[in-house]
Structure 1
Amino acid sequence: MRRTDRLFQIIQILRRSKRPVTASRLAEELEVSLRTVYRDVADLMAQRVPIRGEAGLGYVLDRHYDMPPLMLTPDELEAAVLGAQWVAGRGDPALSRAARDLVAKIATVVPEQLRPFVAEPTVGAPPPLASPASAGGLDFTQLREWIRAGRKLHMRYRDEGGRVSERTVWPVLIGYADTVRLLAAWCEQRQAFRHFRTDRIIEASFLDERHGHRRGELVARWKRYMKKERGLDLL
């Protein structure tokens, strides 16, 4: 990797990380020595790139730092296409259309020599094992709006044993798997996070009432729950 490319890559690694990044982690990802990382970070700081931290503790890039857009690499292009293929095959209708539009837009803006990486990628998402379960009583487009707005959802839900209950929940996010879709939410009745299969939601009402928590805070609480209860350390 050329030194210029490596300096840009250091910035990219720091931009995507929400926690301080140690020199050891940078060296491992870039496949260089610690000495090289220290020198590169020092050079970036000398160029007034707002990196804070020091060796041994980790580095953080100022979140307000704005860098001119970089042309995507072939690997980044194929990663974007692979993700879009997966969403197109498994997402709800609105997201599927958005995924196909995304690939079309990428193909129009990249240089001609990079277009084969979009039109003829070396990777591909497998088709779903079966058709994704139906949305049940949910409008996914409105559900995503309610998640962003921090509003509550009231629903009638049938569990695996066939028992029907009514719940008022704070929707956190929608999970898309090969055959089912899941709604992660804070349940007011259980006072805990729960996951609901959307095909088992009999009826849903979108309430105007807000739950009063910032989305980032609620997602962080859900991630802590997933780590503690299921041993999953989510990004």
Structure 2
Amino acid sequence: MSRTQRLFDLLQLLRSYRFPVTAQTLADQLQISVRSVYRDIASLQQQGADISGEAGLGYVLKPGFMLPPLMFSEEEIEAMVLGSRWVAEHGDAHLAQAAKAALDKIAAVLPSDLRLSLDTNALLVGPDAPPSDFDEALPLLRAAIRQEHKIKLSYVDAKGHTSERMIWPFALGFFERVRVLVAWCELRQEIRHFRTDRIKAFEVYPLHYPQRRHALLRQWREQENIPIP
């Protein structure tokens, strides 16, 4: 375990205690020596952590402290790298660029050992299907979802029938082969799924739909029996 990871774990452990905890207890849980706990607490204090207490009495971390270089564990870095690579492969060009920019910002504040973990991450994402012409319109759909605006669709169903729909978009699913827009359909009066490759045309109306996006999302999760975080 790297020293940066050990400091992060110590900080997280201190944050879980509301009352002073002894160095021996910390050492037992972190599986390090008491002497290492003393050194690491001194190091955190030097970097600005508001840790009060002393040897033999115990230590407590006052709330509200977050040391930027220690924000992420190694597994959290792996999760972010994997997620960013997935977005780069499966998202539209704007999302891919945003994912890379976010990862660059994270890398800029990481200490050297965790930066190496990020640069040499071995979690890979398989290639996506070739981008479709509609992918260029995905940023407009994502903006409509964020702003809770209605959308008028010209949609072709699986049987080749075309219909006009006024919908309330609240989610966009990125799958390996297709993109799926999840929305309340005013025509059907229920939540429906629309493949973006079957959307012939659409128009965003600068008009808020009557329900909140998070309420529609919760309703959809309950309907599809998807666990709610």
TM-score (norm 2): 0.70
Counterpart CA distance in 1 for 2:189 and 2:105 is 43
Give the 3 Å change call, closer, same or farther, for CA 10–121 of structure 1 in structure 2: farther
Hey, what does 1:210 align to over in structure 2? 208
Find the aligned partners of 1:71 and 1:95 in 2 and give their Cα distance: 23
The runs of at least 4 aligned residues of structure 1 exceeding 3 Å deviation read 1-11, 46-49
* One-letter code aligned to 2:106: I
Aligned partner letter, 1:105: K
Tell me which residue corresponds to 1:113: 113
Is there any run of 5+ residues in structure 2 with no aligned partner, and where? 1-5, 19-28, 30-59
Q: How does 1:150-189 map to 2 (within 5 A)?
A: 150-189=148-187
Partner of 1:74: 74
Paired with 2:16 and 2:84, the residues of 1 have a C-alpha distance of: 23
Count of residue correspondences: 180
- After superposition, residues 84-103 of structure 1 pair within 5 angstroms as 84-103=84-103
- The structure whose Rg is larger is 2
Comparing 183-192 and 113-122, the one that deviates more: 113-122
Please give the residue correspondences for 1:1-235 in structure 2 after superposition, counting only pairs within 5 Å: 5-8=12-15, 67-69=65-67, 70-128=70-128, 130-135=129-134, 139-227=137-225, 232-235=226-229
- CA–CA distance in structure 1, aligned partners of residues 187 and 180 of structure 2: 19
Q: Give, in whole Å, the separation in 2 of the partners of 1:151 and 1:177.
A: 24
Which amino acid is the alignment partner of residue 99 of structure 1? A
- CA distance in 2 between partners of 1:99 and 1:74 (Å): 19
TM-score by length of 1: 0.68
The percentage of counterpart residues that share the same residue type is 34
Q: Distance in 2 between matches of 1:171 and 1:221?
A: 13
Distance 2:102 2:138 in 1: 19
CA contact (8 A) 1:153 1:206 kept: yes
CA distance in 1, matches of 2:11, 2:165: 54
Q: Distance in 1 between matches of 2:96 and 2:17?
A: 33
In the TM superposition, residue 135 of structure 1 has moved relative to its aligned partner by: 2.1
Deviations 1:77-114 (A, max 9, x none): 11100000000001011001111112222221111111
Report the Cα offset of residue 4 of structure 1. 5.1
